[in-house]
């Protein structure tokens, strides 16, 4: 039975408007663009209350006739985030190519992202003052995403479907298993077994340790980049540099390029970024336009402000997160921006984001309210997970700097029947390196009981 502190998601008795606005065929696949009107508040709203738009794009291999495709089972892909829209495929490849052999793929823009009533610095203030904005954002966590998915499934007339969750999408899949397992045929998770309880501090202690180890590994591969990072940091401490959006590039913002460290092949792109850093000018060495443009793409949250606003809330379970990463940082002074040698950081969110990023400055008030919120609903039902009957297979990456191995394995042990494949060959973005192989392995495990 679902935890009483979180009502079960709305069921198919809710009437959902569903419209297919466009269909296309190109590069060996057919697509359909689905728009749904769903309740903003699945748990406390009244009939006829406010609704929002949820968008999803269907992908089907053109190798299947339309008649054959109509008989294929559905696979719902839940993207990483929070705040990331669903992938836009120019063609089927990697995991999507493998999945499209046997499934119709539904790529969901989770509420607040992409074409699903998007939230940003221009739309959120329309809700009113910061308190009203915070109340609105309470409806944009995994519980509401799962409730959306169930209404979408019903509107499509789909049987229980396969859910594939990457990173935060895996967190959402655990919520799905907790509160709507009747909608699931099987669940596949890559790099996304969430801790089932707080505090968020535990997550960031593990994260800082993993990122420190990844820094050491990286600088062993590229020892010349140690000097490059120190040169950039010294330069930024004494010289004002601005990104193309007008925001300052400070040492702490520069540290955010450590996001590259979470990847397999992507990690080597950090070296290519650093080699572009300086150019000679009449005033002496300055950071190059090419470097600044690339850095802005990494450190700006203009395209996904929900990530900064809601990131720590995904670990909120009946308690305030209170800028957990910022507080835990005091335990790891080697990550402070004045540290020498300087270490690069990962996915942590700090309050100064909302001072230094022009796209986040209008949202500073609501960010503070969300950090202080101490009554977040539970996102997981441990009793239901312990009694789970849905086949689940999960890839756990041994050195993942974003989703800690130890915490992931603790969660795996709490979900009845969950099969784990642990690998040291991939990092957090493993499906970008061998998506086809990873998908096939997990699907096979789920359908064979892990054999």
Write the CATH number for 40: 3.40.50.1820
| Residues 218 and 89 occupy one common structural domain | no
| Residues 33 and 177 occupy one common structural domain | yes
Q: Which of 139, 235, 427, 428 is catalytic?
A: 428
H/E stretch holding 368 reads helix 364-372
Q: Which of 312, 343, 372 is the last residue of a domain?
A: 372
Average pLDDT of span 246-274: 94
Question: Which residue, among 288, 236, 296, 298, has the nearest Cα to 266 in the 3D structure?
Answer: 298
Q: How confident is the model at residue 5 (pLDDT cuts 50, 70, 90)?
A: very low
Assess whether 375 carries a catalytic annotation: yes
Assess whether 167 carries a catalytic annotation: yes
Residue 286 lies in a domain: yes
| Residues 23 and 91 occupy one common structural domain | yes
Instruction: Report pLDDT digits (tens) over 82-136.
Output: 999 999 999 999 999 999 999 999 999 999 999 999 999 999 999 999 999 999 9
- Given a cut of 70, is residue 429 above it in pLDDT? yes
Whole-angstrom Cα distance, residue 368 to residue 228?
35
Question: Which residue, among 92, 94, 24, 95, has the nearest Cα to 63 in the 3D structure?
Answer: 92
Q: Which of 354, 372, 390 is the last residue of a domain?
A: 372
Average pLDDT of span 28-44: 97
Residue 259 lies in a domain: yes
Number of domains in the chain: 2
Residue 8 lies in a domain: no
Q: Which of 316, 346, 372 is the last residue of a domain?
A: 372
Residue 132 lies in a domain: yes
| Residues 288 and 175 occupy one common structural domain | no
Q: Which of 268, 375, 398, 413 is catalytic?
A: 375
| Residues 352 and 410 occupy one common structural domain | no
Question: Which residue, among 201, 217, 207, 208, has the nearest Cα to 332 in the 3D structure?
Answer: 208
Instruction: Report pLDDT digits (tens) over 192-207.
Output: 999 999 899 999 999 9
Instruction: Report pLDDT digits (tens) over 152-189.
Output: 999 999 999 999 999 999 999 999 999 999 999 999 99
- Domain, as residue range, for 24: 17-195+380-448
| Residues 184 and 285 occupy one common structural domain | no
Q: Which of 117, 167, 178, 300 is catalytic?
A: 167
| Residues 393 and 301 occupy one common structural domain | no
Q: Would you tell me how many other CB atoms lie within 10 Å of the CB of residue 375?
A: 10
- Given a cut of 80, is residue 303 above it in pLDDT? yes
Q: Which two tokens stand for residue 1?
A: 């039975």
Assess whether 381 carries a catalytic annotation: no
| Residues 46 and 188 occupy one common structural domain | yes
| Residues 189 and 204 occupy one common structural domain | no
Q: Which two tokens stand for residue 88?
A: 């836009």
């Amino acid at each position: 039975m679902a935890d009483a502190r979180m009502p079960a998601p709305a069921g198919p008795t809710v009437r959902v408007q569903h419209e297919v606005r466009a269909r296309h065929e190109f590069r060996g696949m057919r697509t359909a663009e689905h728009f749904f009107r769903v309740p903003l508040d699945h748990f406390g709203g009244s009939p006829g209350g406010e609704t929002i738009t949820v968008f999803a794009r269907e992908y089907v291999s053109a190798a299947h006739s339309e008649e054959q495709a109509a008989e294929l089972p559905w696979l719902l892909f839940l993207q990483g985030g929070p705040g990331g829209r669903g992938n836009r495929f120019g063609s089927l490849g990697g995991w999507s190519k493998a999945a499209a052999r046997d499934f119709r793929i539904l790529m969901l823009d989770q509420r607040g992202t992409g074409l699903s009533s998007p939230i940003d610095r221009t739309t959120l203030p329309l809700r009113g003052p910061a308190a009203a904005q915070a109340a609105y954002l309470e409806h944009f966590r995994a519980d509401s995403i799962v409730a959306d998915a169930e209404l979408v499934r019903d509107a499509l007339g789909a049987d229980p479907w396969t859910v594939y969750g990457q990173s935060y999408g895996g967190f959402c899949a655990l919520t799905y298993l907790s509160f709507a397992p009747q909608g699931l045929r099987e669940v596949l998770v890559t790099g996304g077994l969430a801790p089932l309880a707080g505090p968020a501090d535990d997550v960031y202690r593990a994260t800082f340790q993993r990122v420190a180890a990844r820094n050491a590994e990286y600088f062993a591969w590229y020892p010349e980049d140690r000097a490059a990072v120190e040169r950039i940091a010294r330069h930024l401490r004494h010289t004002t540099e601005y990104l193309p959006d007008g925001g300052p590039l400070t040492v702490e913002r520069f540290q955010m390029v450590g996001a590259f460290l979470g990847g397999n092949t992507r990690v080597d792109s950090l070296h290519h970024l650093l080699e572009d850093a300086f150019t000679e000018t009449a005033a002496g060495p300055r950071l190059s336009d090419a470097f600044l443009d690339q850095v802005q793409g990494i450190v700006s949250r203009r395209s996904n402000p929900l990530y900064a606003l809601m990131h720590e809330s995904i670990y909120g379970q009946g308690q305030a997160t209170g800028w957990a990463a910022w507080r835990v940082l005091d335990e790891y002074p080697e990550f402070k921006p004045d540290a020498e040698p300087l270490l690069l950081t990962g996915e942590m969110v700090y309050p100064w984001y909302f001072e230094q990023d022009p796209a986040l400055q209008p949202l500073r008030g609501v960010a503070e309210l969300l950090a202080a919120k101490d009554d977040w609903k539970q996102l997981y039902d441990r009793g239901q997970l312990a009694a789970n009957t849905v086949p689940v297979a999960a890839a756990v990456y041994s050195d993942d700097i974003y989703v800690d191995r130890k915490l992931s394995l603790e969660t795996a042990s709490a979900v009845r029947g969950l099969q784990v494949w642990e690998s040291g060959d991939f990092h957090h973005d493993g499906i970008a390196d061998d998506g086809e192989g990873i998908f096939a392995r997990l699907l096979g495990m789920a359908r064979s009981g892990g054999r």
